[in-house]
Amino acid sequence: MSLEIRSVSKTYGSHRAVDDVSFTVTPGRIFGFLGTNGAGKTTTMRMILDIIRPDSGSIFQDGTSNTSISRNAFGYLPEERGLYPKMRVDEQMLFLAQLYGATRHEASARFDEWMERLEITENRERLVEQLSKGNQQKIQFLAAILHDPDVLILDEPFSGLDPVNAEQMKRAFLEMRERGKTIIFSTHQLDDAQELCQDVAIIHRGKLMTSGDVSSVRQSLGQQVVRFGLAEHEPAAWLEEIPDVTVARDRGDHFELKVPDKAAAQAVLREAIRRDLTVSRFDISYPSLNEVFLSLVRGMPEESKSEVDHEMLVPA
Amino acid sequence: MDLNRVRLVAKREWLTRLRQRSFQITTVVQVLFVAIGASVPTAIALFSDDDVAMADVLIVDGTGADIAERLAPYIVPGETAGFANGGDTIELIATELTADEARTQVDEGDAAAALIVSRADDEDLAFTYVSDSGDSDSTAQQLYAGAAGISFEDRLERGGIDQAEFEAASAAPVFTIEGRQAAGEVNGTDVSGARVGIAYFFTILMFMTIMLYGAWVATGVVEEKASRIMEIMINAATPRDLLAGKVLGIGLAGLTQLAPMLLTGGVVFALQKPIAEALGADSSALPNIDFGSLSVQGIGWFMVYFLLGFTLYAAMYAALGSLVSRQEEVNQAVSPMITVMFVGYFAAFFTMWTPDSLLARVLSIFPLTAPFVMISRVVISPPPAWEMALSVGLLAAALVVAILFAARVYRIGVLLYGQKPSWRALFGKTLEQTAR
């Protein structure tokens, strides 16, 4: 019962948009697909949806190839939002749900339920173009779920949402997870991912850098982060002298230190006490997804624009 | 192909068009225009009837000089009006009525006109022509010629010139007018002006509707691309379902607009004879064609060629529309195809008087021009059955090829934004199976 992506590759002209990417998404968990713009997220998602076909590799949903699976297994929120601007919300939602293969009756019941849940019932009969941007986003989300798909593919679902709407969208995510759906969403906002996801994959220039559950990815660097604050914050050159300790950042009221293990962290604490300094903050954690991401992609050569063949390039 | 999805898309397209105010207004206006257009034969008959009513001319003769009898040779036998078929000869009726009584008869419409003849103080003949249309009708001109002749004879008589000698010299010339229909003899085929008129109508209608509804298809595709709803649609349904639904839905919207118009036009045209008679027009003034069968044939073949032709062109409109991202680029994208349509359109007019020429025969069988040229031929001079069968068969075959090719272009085009691909790259892509 899972979505498996097996060694898929896709090339546009001379541009390798997705290069031998494999990962597995488990139902009932939220999967974050992370990468910079142009990393290959959208291309991969379109391949999962069978909108475009990979040059090599294959994709299976519950053991069935995605090329022969029913269309209503998938729900899609594209990165470029789009609906018929001059069509009424209710008519449009029922039309799209039925196009996916839901019956009018089912779609209508779910529509009522979700309009209520997202607190936008007063917009039922409005034209889409008359809605606020946040409400259009919510409607767009409904367009992805009203046919009750098993797999939800959401491309940058939080972009352009204000904090209140983003919070509502996150609650909707969790609700869908409760219902046992497989959820993949892409983002370059790594804080969103860390907050919502159980599993992540990081893709960069078409290549999969790492994937797995969030804690194992955060541990994968073999580093821990110590946030170390003193009552009197002042430059502390002595920190660098402790073996295995690196000062990553001076945050103004505390330092961020990189250490390979807990023993090195203890050494920091011992040295502070030996120097008779008052410690106001000391916590040890694994690097954030953001830090893992940056350290994974750092040092990769910049791709020159000329390598990209624009002729048949679908935005990736 | 999932018929349920095709039906959904088609229904949405159909309803969207039907709800547009402009669509509703156009539909009504078209019905009115066609009803008027189809009544042209009756209008012509009624108009020529006015002249026929001028034919009875009362002669009020206060001179005892047998004016009515002497006028008769001056009246040109044949038609009184310029219209085809059956105007009446002017009929001169000698009457005992007084001048005023005759005037009343003209006023009340019992006679078309009256000619009042008396002798002036100098014994010369004085003629007064009484008519509701003054001296503008052709009857007045003929009577004037007669009056001039009779006055001349009368003066000669009074002057003592020998009657017999004079009559021999001044006999009326033999002057005959032969009524002909506006017709020509070309290639051994009688081409009726009335039929050409109908061919004009159907050819223009074919061109306008295919171009208009085809443009709806292209702009519809671009709208979906521009509003980016295409990405969801393409995930929910296959490109082929979407293409089929769009063409079907817009085709149905087109038919919804065409049907009332063709029905009204057809019924009014088929009933031209009864309508003309009911309105008191002379039905023999109508063109010599079978209104009923021409209506049925014309509309029947129009529907066949419209359905096939529209679908063929609509598939290509959709494919070309899918290759561009913005409305402004649509015209440029479809222009090569419009050029082909214009060739068929103008060829149809060019060959209207020569419907059996080689050019007409070839272009009425070539699928891209057949809808325009064949509909004109069918109305003017029905071609042999094998030509019709070949034309329809080739058109249907071209249709299948166009739809298959369009579906492939569409599948690639709909997700393509920005730069338009070269035709070579596109053609290569359509041949390989890159997606559903």
List A8's β-bridge partners, or say none.
A21
- In this structure, the answer to whether residues A139 and A14 fall within a common structural domain is yes
For chain B, give the mean pLDDT: 81
**A56: nearest CA partner in chain B:** B434
Last residue of a domain, one of A185, A218, A251: A218
Which amino acid belongs to residue B387?
E
Residues of A with Cβ-Cβ distance to B234 under 8 angstroms: 51
Does the predicted TM-score (pTM) go above 0.80?
no
Give whole-number Cα distances, B203 to B26, B114, B302, in Å: 19, 49, 9
Residues A52, B418: C-beta atoms closer than 8 Å? no
pLDDT in tens, B48-78: 644 444 467 788 888 877 888 888 777 765 5
Q: Is A68 within 8 Å of chain B by CB?
A: no
Q: What is the ipTM of this complex?
A: 0.78
B192 phi, psi to nearest 5 deg: -85, 135
3-state secondary structure of A6: strand
Q: What are phi and psi of B117, to 5 degrees?
A: -120, 130
Same structural domain for residues A130 and A67? yes
Domains in chain A, number: 2
List, for residues B175-210, the tens digit of each pLDDT value: 654 544 444 433 344 567 788 888 899 999 999 999
CATH of residue A151's domain is: 3.40.50.300
- Are B199 and B376 within 8 A, CB to CB? yes
The whole-angstrom separation of Cα B355 and Cα B388 is: 13
Report the CATH number that the domain containing residue A241 is assigned in CATH. 3.30.70
A135 and A54, same domain (yes or no): yes
Cβ–Cβ < 8 Å for A255, A185: no
Would you say residue B396 has pLDDT above 90?
yes
DSSP letters for B21-60: HHHHHHHHHHHHHHHHHHTHHHHHHHHHHHHHGGGEEEEE
**Interchain proximity A53–B433, CB inside 8 Å:** yes
Domain co-membership, A61 together with A175? yes
Contacts of A95 in chain B (CB under 8 A): 8, 12
User: CA torsion sign, A204 to A209 to A213 to A214?
Assistant: negative
Residue A83, chain B, CB below 8 Å: the answer is yes
Closest CA to A182 of A24, A29, A66: A29
Spell out which residues of chain A touch residue B238, defining contact as CB-CB under 8 Å: 71
Structural element, H or E, at residue B425: helix B423-431
Q: Say whether both A278 and A184 belong to one domain.
A: no
Residues 6+ apart with CB under 8 A from B216: B17, B250, B253, B254
pLDDT confidence of residue A189? 81
Q: Pinpoint the residues of chain B covered by CATH 3.40.190.10.
A: 53-169
- Cα separation, A40 vs A157, whole angstroms: 16
Domain termination site, one of A218, A247, A268? A218
Cβ B229–A82 below 8 Å, yes or no?
yes
Min Cα–Cα distance to chain A from B11, Å: 10
Query: What number is the average pLDDT over the span B17-35?
Result: 93
State the nearest Cα–Cα gap between B435 and chain A, in angstroms. 5
Distance from CA of A77 to the nearest CA of B (A): 8
Please list every residue in chain A whose beta carbon sits closer than 8 Å to the beta carbon of residue B233: 96, 99
* C-beta separation of B273 from B291 below 8 A: yes
Q: With cut-offs at 50, 70 and 90, classify the pLDDT of residue B417.
A: low
Would you call B416 and A96 a contact, using CB atoms and an 8 Å cutoff? no
Q: DSSP letters along A142-171, please? A: HHHHTT--SEEEEESTTTT--HHHHHHHHH
What range does the domain containing A137 cover?
3-218
Can you tell me the distance from the alpha carbon of B345 to that of B372, in angstroms, rounded to the nearest whole number? 6
Residue A99 and residue A183 in one domain = yes
Identity of the residue in A51, A72, A85 whose CB atom sits nearest the CB atom of B234: A51
What does the pLDDT average to over B251-260? 94
Q: Both A231 and A130 in a single domain?
A: no
What is residue A114's predicted lDDT score, i.e. its pLDDT? Answer: 93
Closest C-alpha to A206, from A14, A1, A25: A14
In a domain, A304, yes or no: no
Q: Which residues of A touch B429 (CB under 8 A)?
A: 312
Q: Is residue A162 part of a domain?
A: yes
pLDDT value of position B433: 47
Which residue among A100, A311, A313 places its CB closest to the CB of B236? A100
CB of A309 within 8 Å of any CB in chain B? Answer: no
Residues A149 and A282 in one domain: no
CA angle A207, A208, A214 (to 5 degrees): 155
Q: How far is B229 from chain A (nearest CA, A)?
A: 4
Amino acid at B404: L
What's CA B272's distance to the chain center, in Å? 14
pLDDT at A123: 92
pLDDT score for B184: 40
Chain B positions touching A46 (Cβ under 8 A) are: 415
Question: In angstroms, what separates the C-alpha of B433 from chain A's closest C-alpha?
Answer: 9
> Using the beta-carbon criterion (under 8 Å), do B419 and A74 form an inter-chain contact?
no
Q: CB B435 to CB A51 under 8 A?
A: yes
Q: Does A26 map to a domain?
A: yes
Q: Considering the domain B53-169 in this protein, what is its CATH number?
A: 3.40.190.10
CB A61 within 8 A of CB A69: yes
Decide if pLDDT at B262 tops 90: yes
Share above pLDDT 70 across residues of chain B, in percent, rounded to a whole number? 83
Q: Does A13 touch chain B (CB under 8 A)?
A: no
Taking 50 as the pLDDT cut, the residues of chain A under it are 301-316
Residue B296 CA to residue B292 CA, distance in Å, equals 6
Q: Look at residue B111 and give its three-state secondary structure.
A: coil
Write the residue in B228, B237, B429 that is nearest to A99 by C-beta. Answer: B237
Which positions ≥6 away from B292 have C-beta within 8 Å?
B270
Picking from A184, A218, A252, the residue at the C-terminal end of a domain is A218
Contact between chains at A50 and B230 (C-beta distance less than 8 A): no
For position B79, what pLDDT does the model report?
A: 44
In B, what residues contact A, Cβ < 8 A? Answer: 4-5, 8-9, 12, 16, 224, 227-238, 415-419, 421-422, 425, 429, 433-436
| Pairing of β A279-285 and β A224-230 | antiparallel
Say if strands A56-61 and A64-65 run parallel, antiparallel, or are unpaired.
Answer: antiparallel
3-class secondary structure, B14: helix
pLDDT at B279: 82
Residue A77: its H or E element: strand A74-77
pLDDT one-digit tens code per residue, A73-96: 899 998 888 899 889 999 999 999
Q: Does A49 contact B415 at a Cβ distance shorter than 8 Å?
A: no
Q: Do B416 and A312 touch (CB under 8 A)?
A: yes
Closest Cβ opposite residue B417 in set A49, A78, A315: A315
Closest by Cβ to B415, choosing from A76, A101, A314: A314
- pLDDT at position B83, please? 32
B100 token code pair: 């005023």
* Structure tokens belonging to residue A28: 């009932």
Least confident range from A138-142, A302-306, B237-241, B341-345: namely: A302-306
What's at B415, amino acid-wise?
Answer: L
Does A258 reside within a domain? yes
Which chain A residue shows the shortest CA-CA distance from B434?
A53
Distance, in Å, from the CA atom of A42 to the CA atom of B147, rounded to the nearest integer, reads: 98
Q: What is the pLDDT of residue B367?
A: 94
Tell whether the torsion through CA atoms of A206, A211, A215 and A218 is positive or negative. negative
Q: What's the confidence (pLDDT) of residue B93?
A: 80
Q: Do B236 and A99 touch (CB under 8 A)?
A: yes
Q: How close A235 gets to chain B, by Cα (Å)? A: 53
Same domain for A228 and A202? no
Tell the burial category of A68 from Cβ atoms under 10 Å away from its Cβ (0-12, 13-18, 19+). exposed
Q: What is the pLDDT of residue B134?
A: 56
CB A96 within 8 A of CB A151: no
DSSP A166-205: HHHHHHHHHHHHHTT-EEEEEES-HHHHHHH-SEEEEEET
- A130 and A235 fall within a common domain: no
Same domain, A226 and A286: yes
| Strand, coil or helix: A284 | strand
B226 to chain A, closest Cα gap in Å: 8
* Rg of chain A taking only CA atoms, in angstroms: 23
- In B73-160, beta strands by DSSP E: 91-95, 113-119, 125-131
Q: Report yes or no: B205 and B302 within 8 Å, Cβ to Cβ.
A: yes
- The answer to whether A76 contacts B231, with C-beta atoms less than 8 Å apart, is yes
Across the range B361-370, mean pLDDT stands at 93
Instruction: Kindly state whether residue A314 falls inside one of the protein's structural domains.
Output: no
* Residue-level pLDDT at B422: 64
Q: Does A286 touch chain B (CB under 8 A)?
A: no
Say whether A67 and B436 touch across the interface (CB within 8 A).
Answer: yes
For A81, name the nearest residue in chain B, comparing CA atoms only. B228
Q: Of B64, B60, B74, B70, which is closest to residue B117 (Cα–Cα)? A: B60
User: With an 8 Å Cβ cutoff, is A160 touching chain B?
Assistant: no
Partner-chain residue, chosen from A82, A95, A313, that has the shortest CB–CB distance to B12: A95
Q: Which of B97, B106, B105, B93 is nearest to B67 (CA)?
A: B93
Q: Do A49 and B235 touch (CB under 8 A)?
A: yes
Q: Which residue of A has its CA nearest to B416?
A: A314
| Residue A294 and residue A206 share a domain | no
Burial classification of residue A102, based on how many CB atoms lie within 10 Å of its CB (0-12 exposed, 13-18 middle, 19 or more buried): buried
Cβ of A99 within 8 Å of Cβ of B421? The answer is no
